[in-house]
Chain A
C-alpha cells in the first residue's frame, strides 16, 4: 500500500507520537489547569510543552500566545468571526480553502466587505494586487500559505509586508505548510498563524492552534466560545489574558501530547531537511508525470514553488474512476475530485470535475513515486 493522502492528513505519524498519547492516557489522564494535584500539573506541563514546541517552530517569542483548539478551521473561524465587524473590509485570495471562504461568505451576508484577489492559473497571488485592493476600512488580509489543491506557495513575507505597511493584521492559513515549510512569524510579518496539528506537524486529528503575534490587541479579538478555563473561577466574565481567553472547555490533552511529540520530531529533523526531501519527491513525481502522454498536471509544475501536493488528470479517466482504480489495482491511496476549495479549482481550471491529488509526505520514498508513475502510465495507456 502506498499512502499519498498526506495533504488530507499525514500518515504514518512520526515515532514517539503514539507513545506520548499512550503515556498520557495510561499514566497521566488528568485535567490540566483544573486542579493542582500532581497528575493535573503533569497534564498542564504536557500542554505547556506543546505550546513551547510550537512557539519555537514558528519563532514566536511567547508560548502563552499559542492557543489550542480542535483544528485549523476552528482557529480561522475564531479570527474571522472574532475580529471582523460590520462594514469592515477583508482581503483574501481565490486560492482559499472553504475553511476561510465559508466563514467569509457568511460574514459578507452580515455586512462585512470581502475582496477576493484572483490568483494566476498556477495559483499564485500577485502582491501588487493587494495595494489596489486596500480600502480605508480594510482590517485584515487572510491568505492560504499553500494551496491544498495544487500546492502553490504564496509569497508570505511580501504580502505580510504590504499588510504591515497599511497597518492591517495578516492571518495565514498554514494548514498545508506548518512543519513542511519554514515559517517565521517575524520575517513573514505574520500577525496570526492558524495551523493544524494532524498534517505535517505529525500530530493526531482534533488538534490545531493559533499563534497570536504581538501586534494583535486581544480585546479586539472576541473568543469563539466562552466558558470554564480553570482560571479566575470566582468571576463570571471571560478571562482577558492568553491563552485562557480563547481556550474555554477542557482541551484535547491526549491529542496535544501527540502533537507535542510530533512537533518535537519536526524540530529534531529540521524543517529544512523535511522540505528538501519533499522537494526531491515532488520533482521526481512532476518529471515523471510530464513524461506520460495523456496526463495534465495543474499548477506551476516547479517543485521549489510548491508543497508536496500535486494535482493532475488523466485524459479520458474521471478523477473518481482513477482514484478507485489506483486503490483497487495498485494500493495507491490518494484524494480525488474537488478538494473543499471550489474557488481554487475555478482559478486553476479544474471546476467542477476536480483532480487526482497526490499529497506526498516525509515518509514517502522515491520507490513509491516510481511505482505510482508506472501505474499511472498503465492507466493512461489502457483507457
Chain B
C-alpha cells in the first residue's frame, strides 16, 4: 500500500511496536491492506509506530479485532 494523497487512510494506534507487528501479521493473513508507519503527530506525541489501513476498512478491522480479542488503543481516521 503506497502513500497516495487521493486515498483516505485510518490509523490503528497500539500499545507497542510488538503489538503493531502482531496486528500487521494478522491483517496480512486476513488480506487487509496495511502498512506500519510512524504515528501521525496529530494523533499522539508518541514516538512509536502504528498500523495504517484504508479508511474504508475500518469497520471490518474493528469487527475482526474484536472477534480475535486483539487489544488496540484505538482506530483513528483523518
- Please report which residues of chain B, range 16-54, place their CB below 8 angstroms from some CB of chain A when the two chains form the complex: 16-22, 25, 36-39, 44-50
Sorting the interface of chain A by its residue count into under 10, 10 to 19, 20 to 34 or 35 or more gives 20 to 34
Chain B contacts for A234, CB-based, 8 A: 44-46
Check A32/B17 contact, CB under 8 A, given A41-B36, A48-B22, A64-B22.
yes
Given the known A-B contacts A35-B47, A48-B21, are A230 and B16 also in contact in the complex, defined by CB atoms under 8 Å? yes
Q: A41-B36, A231-B46, A233-B47 are in contact. Are A64 and B19 (CB under 8 A)?
A: yes
Looking at chain A's contact residues, is the secondary structure mostly helix, strand, loop, or mixed? loop
> Are B47 and A230 closer than 8 Å at their CB atoms?
yes
Contacts of A82 in B (CB 8 A): none
Residue of A nearest to B37 (CB): A36
B interface, over-half SS: mixed
Residue of B nearest to A33 (CB): B17
Q: Are A36 and B39 in contact (CB under 8 A)?
A: yes
Once the chains are docked, how many angstroms separate the CA of A32 from the CA of B50?
13
Q: How many residues of B contact A (CB 8 A)?
A: 21
Point out the residue from B17, B44, B71 that lies within 8 Å of A230, measured CB to CB. Answer: B17
Question: Which residues from chain A contact B17 at a C-beta distance below 8 Å?
Answer: 32-33, 41, 44, 230-231
Q: Which of A252-286 contact B (CB under 8 A)?
A: none
Chain B residues within CB distance 8 Å of chain A: 15-22, 25, 36-39, 44-50, 71
- Chain A to chain B contacts (Cβ below 8 Å), 9 pairs: A33-B18, A33-B48, A41-B17, A44-B17, A45-B21, A48-B22, A63-B18, A234-B46, A243-B16
**Chain A interfacial positions (CB closer than 8 Å to B):** 32-36, 40-41, 44-45, 47-48, 51, 63-64, 229-234, 239, 241, 243-244
